[in-house]
Amino acid sequence: MSYNKALKSNLYIGANGWIYYRKVINGQTIQLSTHTKSRRVANKLKSKIEYKALQSYYNPETGRRFLTFPKLVKEYLAFNHSWSKDTRRVNEETLRLYLKRGLPKKSASYISTYKSRVNTCIRWGINRGIETNKKLYTGNTMTEPRLRVFNSSEMTKILHKTEDSRFRLFVAFASYTGARRGELLNINHSNPHDNYVEVRGKTGKRLVKLNTQAKKIYQEVNTPWSYNLSYVSHHFKKNLRRLEIPNGRFQDLRRTFGYNLIKGGVPIYQVAKLLGHSKIAQTERNYAPLLVTDVGEYTLTY
């Protein structure tokens, strides 16, 4: 074969006779077709195709790595985030449905959930030097905080009349710790602490403090709860309907826990720690609307 007919570097002839460009960048193979079987034409197109290949990996304007949004989602979901099984399932379902259909045509809170997960994925890429063709959703992508808390009468019914004695202990443990559903189902039972349990949830690993009431339940149960998230939600609502307690959800136990701590005089920064909030602002946002109604009469003097 004469030199002028030899293919330039990174060009090769496929089994079908077409000529392709292939290059490996940081372990990722990028392959593009030259759309020709002519060596002369492929050699002529090589620099243009090489630029296109690099463009698919790097943003030529910033030099940062570039991935289309579907590829970013694929890499984001493949990353080891230390998510619980249920958290991973929710993220995978949400992002894959978004890629397939876009934003759902449902309630504002449901749409906000999708926007929030898309933004989290994009920011994850930005923090790792990856740019994408999908822009962040702007404006307030957070839903309005839910304000439902159970009163004393409702809590008495819930703690004493929930059906299924083992599930009742699960509900009571949640009400005494303020832990999330996913955390309660991912307790490290080889935990060496006496006053804490190590859990894994949507925020990763954290320690949940056990008061005397929670510690007693933990010692009584002794084995992991084997429920799934869906069962917890549905079975709890079923019990609420039977007890004639309206508009209740399992996560309202967590809100009731935090609300009563603040009303009882526990400093808000301690409440934030007990709830596993990374920032006090998150605790204030969730509980300030609840506490406005507890402000007594006051007089202003100017």
pLDDT tens, 122-165?
999 888 888 888 989 886 555 556 778 999 999 999 999 999 99
93-117 pLDDT per residue, tens: 999 999 999 998 877 777 888 998 9
User: What is the topology classification, in CATH, of domain 152-289?
Assistant: hpI Integrase; Chain A (1.10.443)
pLDDT of res. 54: 76
Domain ranges in the chain are 3-57, 69-131, 152-289
pLDDT at 41: 92
Using CA atoms, how far apart are residues 32 and 155, in angstroms rounded to an integer? Answer: 63
Q: Give which of 134, 137, 171, 139 is closest to 155, Cα–Cα.
A: 171
User: pLDDT (tens digit, 9 = 90+) per residue, 262-280?
Assistant: 888 889 899 999 998 888 8
How long a stretch of residues is the chain?
Answer: 302
Maximum Cα interatomic distance, the chain, rounded to a whole number of Å: 98
pLDDT at 75: 92
Closest CA to 152 of 264, 77, 235: 264
Amino acid residing at 153: S
User: What CATH number should be reported for the domain whose range is 3-57?
Assistant: 3.30.160
The order of strands in the sheet holding 187-188 is: 187-188, 196-201, 204-209
Q: Integer distance in angstroms from the first to the last C-alpha of the chain?
A: 97
- For residue 143, the model assigns a pLDDT of 53
Nearest CA among 233, 182, 184, 249 for reference residue 210: 184
In this prediction, residues 170-194 reach a mean pLDDT of: 88
Q: What Cα–Cα distance (Å) separates residue 285 from each residue in 127, 249, 265? A: 26, 20, 18
Distance CA 115, CA 141 (A): 6
Rounded percentage of the chain residues whose pLDDT exceeds 90: 39
Q: Is the dihedral of CA 289, 295, 297, 299 positive or negative?
A: negative
Average pLDDT of the chain to the nearest whole number: 85
Separation of alpha carbons 137 and 70, rounded Å: 16
Mean pLDDT of 165-189: 92
pLDDT class for 24, splitting at 50, 70, 90?
confident
C-beta pairs of 44-47 under 8 Å, 24+ apart in sequence: 46/8, 46/10, 46/11, 46/21
Question: What pLDDT shows up at residue 2?
Answer: 39
Pairing of strands 130-131, 65-66: parallel
Measured between alpha carbons, how far is 173 from 216 in angstroms, rounded to an integer? 9
**pLDDT per residue as tens digits for the range 191-236:** 667 789 998 876 778 899 999 999 999 988 877 888 988 899 999 9
Count H helices and E strands in the chain, helices first.
12, 8
